[in-house]
Amino acid sequence: MRVGIVGAGQLGSYLCHAARRLGLQTTVLASTPQQPACQVADQVVLGAIADGEPTCGIANPVVAMGELAQRVDVITFERENVSVNALDMLHGLELTGLVKVAPSVEVLSLLQNKFEQKSWLQAQGFPVGKFVECRLPDDTAALQAQAQACFAELGRPFVLKTKTGGYDGLGVRKVDSAEQMADFAGHDCIAEALIPLQKELAVLVVRHPAGECITYPVFEMDFDSRGNVLRRVVCPAGISEVQAQRARLLSKELISRLGGVGVFAVEMFTTGDDLLINEISPRVHNVGHLTLEAFHSSQFEQHMAAAAGLPLRVIHQLKPAVMENLLCEESLANAELERQVHTLNDDVHVHWYGKRGHRPLRKMGHLTALGDNPRQAGARAVRGVQRLRDDHTRFSMSA
Ligand SMILES: Nc1ncnc2c1ncn2[C@@H]1O[C@H](COP(=O)(O)OP(=O)(O)OP(=O)(O)O)[C@@H](O)[C@H]1O
Ligand SMILES: [Mg+2]
């Protein structure tokens, strides 16, 4: 079977590796031939993916998506920021049965917009915090008025997010004054009450087109507050068995209700005993990178199996694990790390992504440490990061 993957970044390259193991052919839609997945895929279609992306010398999103659809049996996504027009066109092909889409265009379109997504969750009765739609005006006086209205509705500070296009904390900001909204002026946003959260959890759900739905154990996430960027993941999470079961059941019900196909990451906040849903990603996620070494089958393998309609894999955790993202701390003009995976020892696995463009807190790679329990895995991760820090003094992670 031939699978098309929209997007050719880091996640796409892991998906291509998994596809190969499953005997599937891959074609990636990439905006440049240098993207990581282009080196691993069987075929590449070059073209823009998001609306507003430059198309100099490459096909526009609608043409590129059409080309991809012609070459494959099923299309899936490694990112949710996909052109609305290209999705409309793909929806037409999906309805006529010319190509399968997993997850469906309807599901991806709903989830790619944070406001639409939260409105759906609320309407379906799933637990979410307070939020309002927020179109940010360009002029200062109107921005002041908008900020005051949000403070009155949501409290101060609140959290502002662009409706679309955000990832890795880009497009998310805590707002205490109108000035802090200025960068987002002209954008369609969602404003949310700041949740006094205790922990951040994620559940990876895998759903087969025939309806079977399974979940990985709960992951606990730690964020770097400087940029709301994911720094550390622990699995299993340090929560009670009762809360873990509730989180898994809630996530499973949600993805079943959506009718999603493939892997979904359901991100949640805990406040005391309560769970609030933060967001759902309609794709494999950075939080699940540790499934590569800590589980019998990775999120990437599960996603490709579900998209292709192959049987889902058994979810079996081999060892407790901790993953640390290797974040770029300062401008690294001369760093030219090759893409590579290596082990520091049997229990610590390092993945460098070979990224050339550097900006503070960009994810340059990750490290997964295994242990007999989460504490041991955590200690190994800290030692591993320290060793890398010594080796690559230009990278710095707060361990
Ligand atoms: N309403 C909120 N209250 C408190 N903290 C929040 C809220 N919304 C977001 N955050 C913080 O900001 C982080 C990033 O927000 P969110 O998950 O919406 O953005 P993202 O950039 O799409 O994430 P990802 O890293 O999954 O791509 C959250 O994980 C959390 O730490
Ligand atoms: Mg998130």
- Which CATH number belongs to the domain containing residue 205 in this structure? 3.30.470.20
Q: Who wins on pLDDT, 224 or 380?
A: 380
Q: How confident is the model over 124-130, as a mean pLDDT?
A: 98
On whether residue 124 sits in a domain, the answer given is no
On whether residue 398 sits in a domain, the answer given is no
On whether residue 30 sits in a domain, the answer given is yes
Q: How confident is the model over 187-197, as a mean pLDDT?
A: 95
Q: Are residues 272 and 209 in the same domain?
A: yes
On whether residue 29 sits in a domain, the answer given is yes
On whether residue 109 sits in a domain, the answer given is no
On whether residue 238 sits in a domain, the answer given is yes
Q: Which domain holds residue 259?
A: 199-391
3-state SS, the chain, equals CEEEEECCCHHHHHHHHHHHHCCCEEEEEECCCCCHHHHCCCEEEEECCCCCCCCCCCECHHHHHHHHHHHCCEEEECCCCCCHHHHHHHHHHHHCCCCEECCCHHHHHHHCCHHHHHHHHHHCCCCCCCEEEEECCCCHHHHHHHHHHHHHHHCCCEEEEECCCCECCECEEEECCHHHHHHHCCCEEEEEECCCCCEEEEEEEEECCCCCEEECCCEEEEEECCCCEEEEEEECCCCCHHHHHHHHHHHHHHHHHHCCCEEEEEEEEEECCEEEEEEEECCCCHHHCCHHHHECCCHHHHHHHHHHCCCCCCCCECCCEEEEEEECCCCCCCCCCCEEEEEEECCEEEEEECCCCCCCCCEEEEEEEECCCHHHHHHHHHHHHHHHHHHCCCCCCCC
Q: Are residues 277 and 368 in the same domain?
A: yes
d(CA 380, CA 345): 10
Q: Are residues 182 and 205 in the same domain?
A: no
Q: How confident is the model over 178-183, as a mean pLDDT?
A: 88
Of 10-19, 248-257, 368-377, 389-398, the poorest mean pLDDT is in 389-398
Show which of 169, 193, 217 is a domain's final residue.
193
Q: Are residues 144 and 204 in the same domain?
A: no
Using one digit for the tens of pLDDT, what is the confidence trace for 59-98?
999 999 999 999 999 999 999 999 999 999 999 999 999 9
Neighbours of 348 (CB within 10 A): 24
Contact 38, 8 (CB under 8 A): yes
Q: Please report the pLDDT score of residue 337 as a whole number.
A: 64
Q: Are residues 7 and 88 in the same domain?
A: yes
On whether residue 272 sits in a domain, the answer given is yes
Q: Are residues 268 and 378 in the same domain?
A: yes
Distance (angstroms) between ligand 1 centre and the Cα of 223 equals 9
Residue 110: pLDDT band by 50, 70, 90 thresholds?
very high
Q: How confident is the model over 34-57, as a mean pLDDT?
A: 92
Q: Are residues 279 and 365 in the same domain?
A: yes
Residue 183: pLDDT band by 50, 70, 90 thresholds?
confident
Residue 362: pLDDT band by 50, 70, 90 thresholds?
confident
Distance (angstroms) between ligand 2 centre and the Cα of 207 equals 20
Show which of 48, 83, 101 is a domain's final residue.
101
Q: Are residues 324 and 362 in the same domain?
A: yes
Show which of 101, 121, 143 is a domain's final residue.
101
Total domains in the chain come to 3
d(CA 79, CA 83): 11
Backbone angles phi, psi at 398, to 5 degrees: -80, 110
Distance (angstroms) between ligand 2 centre and the Cα of 76 equals 20
Evaluate the CA torsion angle 159, 251, 262, 109 in order and state its sign.
Answer: negative
Q: Is the pLDDT of residue 184 over 90?
A: no
Q: Are residues 337 and 371 in the same domain?
A: yes
Look at ligand 1, atom 27, and give the residue with the nearest C-alpha.
Answer: 167
Q: Are residues 344 and 288 in the same domain?
A: yes
Look at ligand 1, atom 31, and give the residue with the nearest C-alpha.
Answer: 228
Q: Are residues 59 and 16 in the same domain?
A: yes
Using one digit for the tens of pLDDT, what is the confidence trace for 278-331?
999 999 999 999 999 999 999 999 999 999 999 999 999 999 999 999 988 743
Q: Are residues 40 and 157 in the same domain?
A: no
Ligand 1 lining (C-beta closer than 6 Å):
129, 159, 161, 166-169, 172, 192, 194-195, 197, 200, 223, 228, 230, 267, 278-279
On whether residue 113 sits in a domain, the answer given is no
Distance (angstroms) between ligand 1 centre and the Cα of 216 equals 21
Residue 135: pLDDT band by 50, 70, 90 thresholds?
confident
CATH number of the domain where residue 142 is located: 3.30.1490.20
List beta partners, residue 230.
Answer: 223
Residues measured by CB to lie within 5 Å of ligand 2, the ion: 267
Distance (angstroms) between ligand 2 centre and the Cα of 203 equals 12
CATH number of the domain where residue 39 is located: 3.40.50.20
